Amino acid sequence: MSNNMTQDEKPMSNLSPLLEPRSVAVIGASKNVDKIGYKILKNIVDAGFEGKIFPINPRGGEILGLQAFASILDVPDEIDVAVIVVPAKFIPSIIEECVRKEVKGAVIISSGFRDIGPEGIVLENQILETAAKSELRIIGPNCQGVSNPQIGFCATWPLVENVGNVAIISQSGTIALEIPSFLSRNRLGYSKAIALGNKSDVDEADLIAMLTEDEMTSVIAVYSEGMKDGRKLMAAIKQASRTKPVIFLKAGKTEAGKKAVLAHTGSLAGNREVFEAAVKQSGGIYVNDLQELCDTAKAFSTCPTPRGNRLMVITSSGGSGILASDAGEDVGLKLSKLSDETVEALRNQLPSYCVIRNPLDLTGNALNNVQLYTDALKIVLEEKDVDLVLVIFGDPILGASDSLKELTDKASAQNIPVVVSFLGGADVQVLESEKLQKNGVPVYPTPGRAIKALGNMKKYWKIRKKESGK
């Protein structure tokens, strides 16, 4: 892809203005509520964007109470970012105007470029060449925009406003927005979401590098369909992984998937094994599907990095404990071996019907005695062989949330992730899960999903350990 060389050779400019702009122009802003040019402008307004907003529409007038300009060249102010939603054929001249106006970033929503084949490639190259003469960086085209909910810069749709510490980089717009939606349903939030689409200029590596420096971000989740420059990506992941986990989902793994990738963003999906190995080798956490990506981001968003791979399971449901044991072995977690002191402390504290081993089975009697969970977790947190804890509530256990309340903070301080799986509890389960998550404790509907997330936390521990050993 020699045509991109000028972009790739350009020294990595600061991408921050693209996601932390002080002013934004929406080129193609519209009064028609069905148009993306309306939805984006409205979302930026509704999110309470802190900077200046300039709708650009040849007809001028007012849109959503804001003065519209016929061209960005008419705007009597600096513009950090231009969000562009006009048809593809108009975009080369608009990019020329952006260069003249010294706009720092352009987010091109419109499709009709590399995604439609040869004639679109010509158009895409044209805007890249124009941009290459300046500092202008481009996100897209054929993308679903970007979002930074902290400053209300939600130049995408739907509007998802919950602020948190997970950053999302996704070639797919739907997935770029699904992860914030998922986090929101789980009472968590995101720091930045960037849909890359054709990623003609700014790519995953650029953004990972930027997000490595971003104090609002402590987890980076990536969905990608293919990569032009593997070494650049590996270097970026490697650098990021020193301070925050990079979770990576690669689409287009199979033959069927590769063909679909080409049809979607015109990317070459490349070889599955090579890609997986590259991500892992550079310290990224390679996941197999979107559910695992979301579940893992959720764990990292709320829990500290563990200090080892030894798992303690506390449960009231023997069956769920077995499922957790199976899943744990499958992902390479070791069940903690309880010391004689811990066994004795548990025996002294807990009723005789409890099965003092790992999984620790409080039995169905915990249904009316939620204090057993508090007592058990308190003792377990003193055990040196415990690095990660899965607490399983398997019954309609009222007070489940309160039973862990102070202990999860204590665990965090000790770098012990504590996650919950809640099942078999009908309405109480829904209620208590909600309370737990509001308190910052991640809850998973099955032990298997909880364990997969913990297994990925363990991988990150290994990466960090390897890194610090050098």
Q: Which of residues 213-242 bind its own copies (CB under 8 A)?
A: 223, 225
Q: Which residues contact 70 (CB under 8 A, 6 or more apart)?
A: 56, 57, 58, 59, 60
Examine residue 339 and tell whether it contacts its own copies (CB under 8 A): no
**Interface with its own copies (CB under 8 A), residue from 9, 11, 256, 348:** 256
Site string for its own copies, 33-52 (x = CB under 8 A): -x-x----------------
Give the residue with the Cβ less far from its own copies, 69 or 153: 153
Q: Token digits for 225? A: 């369909």
Q: Does 190 bind its own copies (CB under 8 A)?
A: no
| Separation of alpha carbons 444 and 128, rounded Å | 44
- Minimum CB distance to its own copies, residue 172 (Å): 2
Do 247 and 221 form a contact (C-beta atoms < 8 A)? yes
Q: Does 395 bind its own copies (CB under 8 A)?
A: yes
Residues 92-111 that bind its own copies (CB under 8 A): 111
Give the three-state DSSP class for 228: coil
Considering only residues 402 through 431, tell me which ones interact with its own copies, judged by CB under 8 A: 423-430
Q: Report the residue number, 230 or 424, with the smaller CB distance to its own copies.
A: 424
319 binds its own copies (CB under 8 A): yes
Q: Per rule CB under 8 A, is residue 289 in the interface with its own copies? A: yes
What are the φ/ψ torsions at residue 4 (nearest 5 degrees)? -95, 0
Residue in 4, 71, 93, 184 binding its own copies, rule: CB under 8 A: 184
Quote the CA–CA distance of 225 and 246 in Å, as a whole number: 16
Residues 6+ apart with CB under 8 A from 439: 401, 404, 405, 408
Let me know: does 427 contact 396? Beta carbons within 8 Å: yes
Q: 33 burial class (0-12, 13-18, 19+ CB within 10 angstroms)?
A: exposed
Residue 164 near its own copies by CB under 8 A: no
Rounded least distance, CB 23 to its own copies, Å: 26
Q: Is residue 257 involved in binding its own copies (CB under 8 A)? A: yes
Among 27, 106, 160, 222, binds its own copies (CB under 8 A): 160
Q: Tell me the closest approach of the beta carbon of residue 408 to its own copies, in angstroms.
A: 22
The CA dihedral of 158, 160, 165, 166, to the nearest 10 degrees, is -30
CB 373 within 8 A of CB 400: yes
Question: CB-wise, 243 or 288, nearer to its own copies?
Answer: 288
Q: Which of residues 374-393 bind its own copies (CB under 8 A)?
A: none
Kindly state whether residue 58 participates in binding its own copies, applying the rule CB under 8 A: no
Distances in whole angstroms, Cα of residue 138 to Cα of each of 135, 149, 152, 236: 10, 20, 20, 19
445 makes contact with its own copies (CB under 8 A): yes
